[in-house]
Structure 1
Amino acid sequence: MQSSAAPPRPFPLPRFLGDASGATAVEFGLVSIPFFALLGAILQIAFMTWAQENLDFTFQKAARSVFTGQFQTDPANSGATTTTLLQAIHDQMCGPSSSNGKSTVYNCAGAKVDLKIGTNFANTTFQAPVNPNTRAWATGFGTNYTCAAPGAIVIATAAVEFPLFFRLWDLGLSSFSDGGVLLQSTAVFRTEPYRTSGASPC
């Protein structure tokens, strides 16, 4: 008994090209990557804007106590060390470290505060919070405090690292080597001629 040879199978390419049953899935796959990347970028920028506004609000309230002299004349700050004084300004932003603190969009516990005195507004400079070469916190930032006497020009800066949630598109936002984004708030002002009882607090 002789077996008959199987008929040749037609070449599948024309049938494959004419099959549109999976076109929707393929089109969705092609479109979904840029769509979700764009959505992630929008959400990232929205979160950053929200956190930046929150940082500005909390820091400006703390800086105002230096502007009015309330911070300098507070008996609790008399004779305190630089670390203690910076922590006191930090606590005004975030709440006391012994408690849960204030609710903020950014990580307030990781915020750094720096306060220096300038000679005049034209030549006022401040230290950059991040070293662009190492992409880490600049050496010495967050350790400077100079008491602001009445009429002094103050350069107060607060900075914090904010996480980059969607890293499909960096968008050039990251400032730190781990991908974090720098949020920074700076206030430059001349302190009011506040009253001092007895010797100057500075």
Structure 2
Amino acid sequence: MSRWRLKSLARDTRGATMIEFAILAPIFFAILTAILQTSVQFFAAQVLESGMSDASRAIRVGQAQHDGWTVDDYKNNVCDRLYGLFGNCADMHVTVRQINDFQSADYSIPLDLTCKKDCDWTEDEVWVPGGSSSVVLVQVHYRYPAILQFPYSPNMLADGRSLLSAATVFRNEPF
């Protein structure tokens, strides 16, 4: 090849934009997808928190105790408030228990976080909504499916789902 052709080929930039896009596009779309997945999970966590809080109102005012609710009734009440954002409420774990005072509230995760495959809940669901003026701790955990599997994602379980949780502590009304 002549020297003139090599110089003109070196100055030719007609395909540079396409090559730059091909290099940067996967990174851009991966970041965009990570942002979308994170925002969906934050939104789902907020919906779970709100549903748990609204359903816990029935415990606080004594309606759940008066109507003889079980843990499944409470779980169904929470699921009814999730607006279809959570597909299967069988992946939800509920703990409602009476505690001595606000200082003795301890939060536990009913799942072995080191589990590698087929992880199941490590604790049984608890339903002790307490009586009049008692202090109650409510915890709801949900294994939420992830759209993409990113390494080192927060709350990522070994089976590819994220663990969402919500908790509240309150004193029942004097009913």
Larger proportion of helix: 2
Partner in structure 2 of residue 24 of structure 1: 17
Backbone CA RMSD of aligned residues? 2.5
Secondary structure in 2 matching 1:34: helix
Matched, 1:129 2:110: yes
Instruction: Evaluate the alpha carbon distance shift between residue 152 and residue 25 of structure 1 in structure 2; reply closer, same or farther with a 3 A threshold.
Output: same
Contact kept? 1:164, 1:174, Cα under 8 Å: no
Partner in structure 2 of residue 93 of structure 1: 78
Number of corresponding residues: 171
Within 5 Å, give how 1:16-95 maps onto structure 2.
Answer: 17-74=10-67, 76-77=68-69, 85-95=70-80
Within 5 Å, give how 1:161-176 maps onto structure 2.
Answer: 161-167=143-149, 169-176=150-157
Cα distance in 2 for partners of 1:126, 1:147 equals 16
Percent identity between the aligned chains? 23
Cα distance in 1 for partners of 2:152, 2:11 equals 40
Secondary structure in 2 matching 1:21: coil
Contact kept? 1:175, 1:182, Cα under 8 Å: yes
Q: Which amino acid aligns with 2:146?
A: L
Provide Cα deviations, 1:6-38, integer angstroms capped at 9, x if missing partner: xxx669976764443321111001111221111
Secondary structure in 1 matching 2:103: coil
Q: Which amino acid aligns with 1:140?
A: E
Task: Identify unmatched segments of 5+ residues in structure 2.
Answer: none
Contact kept? 1:118, 1:125, Cα under 8 Å: no
Instruction: Evaluate the alpha carbon distance shift between residue 41 and residue 182 of structure 1 in structure 2; reply closer, same or farther with a 3 A threshold.
Output: same
Matched, 1:158 2:140: yes
Q: Which amino acid aligns with 2:128?
A: T
Instruction: Evaluate the alpha carbon distance shift between residue 14 and residue 130 of structure 1 in structure 2; reply closer, same or farther with a 3 A threshold.
Output: farther
Partner in structure 2 of residue 98 of structure 1: none
Partner in structure 1 of residue 85 of structure 2: 105
Contact kept? 2:47, 2:82, Cα under 8 Å: no
Cα distance in 1 for partners of 2:120, 2:171 equals 27
Cα distance in 2 for partners of 1:56, 1:174 equals 16
Q: How far has the Cα of 1:72 moved from its partner?
A: 0.4
Task: Identify unmatched segments of 5+ residues in structure 1.
Answer: 1-8, 78-84, 96-100, 195-202
* Structure number with bigger Rg: 1
Q: Which amino acid aligns with 1:65?
A: A
Partner in structure 2 of residue 117 of structure 1: 98
Contact kept? 2:44, 2:85, Cα under 8 Å: yes
Cα distance in 2 for partners of 1:175, 1:137 equals 15
